[in-house]
Amino acid sequence: MKPEIKKEWVRRLRSGEIEQGTGALRRDEARCCLGVLSDMAVEEGVIPEPHQGEWGDWIYGERDKSFPPAVVLNWAGLTDRDPVVRLVENEDGEQFEYTVSELNDGGATFEEIANLIEAKL
Q: Provide the residue ranges of all domains of the chain, joining segments of one domain with +.
A: 3-120
Q: Is 96 helix (H, G, I), strand (E, B) or coil?
A: strand
pLDDT at residue 5, rounded to an integer: 98
With H, G, I as helix, E, B as strand and everything else as coil, classify residue 75: helix
**Cα dist from 17 to 22, 36, 74, 78, whole Å:** 16, 11, 26, 24
DSSP state of 44: T
Under DSSP, the state recorded for 64 is B
Tens digits of pLDDT across the chain (121 residues)? 999 999 999 999 999 999 999 999 999 899 999 999 999 999 999 999 999 887 778 999 877 789 999 999 999 999 999 999 987 777 888 788 999 999 999 999 999 999 999 999 9
Report d(CA 103, CA 88) in Å as an integer.
Answer: 13
